A and B are shown apart, each in its own frame.
Chain A
Amino acid sequence: MDSAQIIIQALNGLSYGLLLFLLATGLSLIFGLMGVINLAHGSFYMLGAYVGLAIINLTGNFVLALLGAALILAFVGILVERFFIQRLYKRELDQVLLTFGFAYIFMDVAKWIWGGTPRSLPKPPFLNSSLNILGEAFPVYRIAMIIIGLFVALALWLFLERTRVGAVIRAGVDDQEMVKAMGINIKIFFTGIFALGAFLAAFGGVIGGPIMGAYLGLDFNILVLALAVVVVGGLGTLKGAFWGSILIGFIETFGKVFFINFAIVTIYIAMALILIFKPAGLLGKEESY
C-alpha cells in the first residue's frame, strides 16, 4: 500500500467513523444518559432517510430534507417518549420489548408507504464531485461528512457540558423523585433528550443516505453498529461515543483492507477484545465501590 492509499483509507475510516458518530450519538444520549435501551433507534435513522428522500423528491432541496426529516422524527420521538417510554424508566426488559415493538411497526409503516425497494438518497449537487488527493480520487461528500460530524460533536459537547441539561438528565436517572423535589420538571427534560436522540438519528439517516441508502433492514444494521460504538466507547459519555465511532470507523475500514475475509466479523472481534480487557468499554469507568 502506498502513502496515497493509506491517506485515502484513513480518510475513508474517518468519514465512516464520523458517520457512525452521527448515527450512534443519539443512541448514546438516550442509552447513556437516560438508561433507555432504544431498539427503535435504527428505525428513527431509517425513517429519517426515507422521509428525507421524500422531501428531496418533493422539493429537490437536500438541506430542507435534512432538517425536515430530523424535525419530523423528533416529533415522533416526542410522542413515543411521552406516551410510552415515560412509564418505563429503569425497566430495561420492558424497554426492550416496547422499543422492539416500535421497530417492527416503523419497519412495516416504511414498507407500507415506500414499498420494499431499496433506495438511495441523491447527494446535493454541490457536493457531488471528487477531490484529487495525491492522484487518487476522494469524494467531496465524504469530506463534508467529516466536517458535519465534527460540527455536530462540538455542538453537542457545548450543549451538554455548558448547560445543566446533561446533569439534570443523569440525576433524573439516578433518582427521579429527588430531581422533582429539587423543583425540576424532569419529564420535559427526558422528552427533550429523547426527541434530540431521534432528531440526531434522522439527521444521520439523511446524511448517511447517499452512502447507506434507505432499505428495510437498515434499521437493525444501524442499531448493531450504533450499539457497538456506544458500548466500545463506554456508556453515557459524548467523548466515548465520539472516540468509539472513530475507532470503529477505522477498524471497519482497515479490516476491509487487511482482513477482507473476516470483514463480516472484524467489528465483533474488536468489540469482544475491547470488552474482555476493558469490561466497561474503552473510556468507561469500571464500577469501583
Chain B
Amino acid sequence: MLQLTDVHTYYGDSHILQGVTLEVPQGSVIALLGRNGMGKTTTIHSIIGFTPPVKGQIVFEGKNIVGFQPYQIAQLGIALVPQGRRIFPSLTVKENLTIGWQKKKGQLDNDLKHIYSLFPVLKKREKHSGKHLSGGEQQMLAIGRALMTHPKLILMDEPLEGLAPTIIQDIYKKIIELKSSGYSILLVEQNIHLALKIADYVYIMNKGKIAYHGDTKQEQIKEEIKKYLSI
C-alpha cells in the first residue's frame, strides 16, 4: 500500500535521509525504531509531504506522491499522529476532532461517539480549549483527530508518549482492532516492548538509513535491537 524507495531528504544542506527504502503492506502494522535523531520523524514527514524528498519515490496505492502537497496526500487517505502531539491549542477539543472530518466518509455524531468511547475523558473536556488539556489528554486527542478522517494509512509518531499504562493498553487493543479491520499503520515508537508486540514487521533506522529490517517473529531481531538501541 505504501512503498518508499531510496528516499533522500534534506534540511537545508544537511542530508538527513540517505536512501530509505521501506514498505507498509495493506492491513499491517509496521514499526520504525531507532535512537533519537536517527531520522524517524523525518521519514514520516517525507511521506506526509512536510519535508518532500529530493530524491526517491514514495508510492501510495500505486501513485507516486512525491511533490504532492500535504493536504493532497492527506486526502488520499493518509493520517498523521505527529510527534509532540501538535494539537491545535486555540481550538476546543471538539473542534480539533471535527476539523479534518469529511462528510462523505461518515456521520459526524457517530464518529465523535466512537472517539469518545475510546477516550471518555475527551467527551468530558469537549468544550475545553486544546491548550488546557493535560499532556496525555492531548495525546489522546491527537490520535482521535487522526482517526476522525477515516484514513487508510495512519502514520503514528510516538503515539504512546506521555500516556498512562492503562491507556497504553487500551490503545494497544485499538491498534490491533484497526489492523484487523484493514487499516495500515506505520508506527514509530520508543516503547520497544510494545512495538514488537503490535507490529508485524520492524525497520530499524540508524543515521538516516535503514540498518535492519525483519519479521517480528524472527529471533535475530532481539540482537539487532540490542545493537542499534542498546538495550
Contacts and interface: CB of A to CB of B under 8 A. Distances in A.
Interface of A: 164, 167-168, 170-171, 173-175, 177-186
Interface string B134-165: 00000000000100010000000000000000
B74 A183 contact: yes
A177 B70 contact: yes
Interface of A, secondary structure class, is helix
Interface of B: 48-50, 69-71, 74-75, 79-80, 82, 86, 88-91, 95-96, 98-100, 102, 145, 149
Nearest to A188: B71
Contacts of A174: 88-91
Main secondary structure of the interface of B (DSSP, over half): loop
9 contacts: A164-B99, A167-B98, A178-B86, A178-B88, A179-B71, A180-B74, A183-B75, A184-B100, A185-B71
A174 B99 CA distance: 13
Nearest to A236: B90
Nearest to B148: A182
Contacts of B88: 170-171, 174-175, 178-179
A261 B50 CA distance: 58
A167 B99 contact: yes
A165 to B, nearest CB: 11
B82 A185 contact: no
Contacts of B89: 174
A185 B100 contact: no
B149 A173 contact: no
Contacts of A180: 49, 69-71, 74
A173 B79 CA distance: 20
Contacts of B69: 180, 185
A184 B99 contact: yes
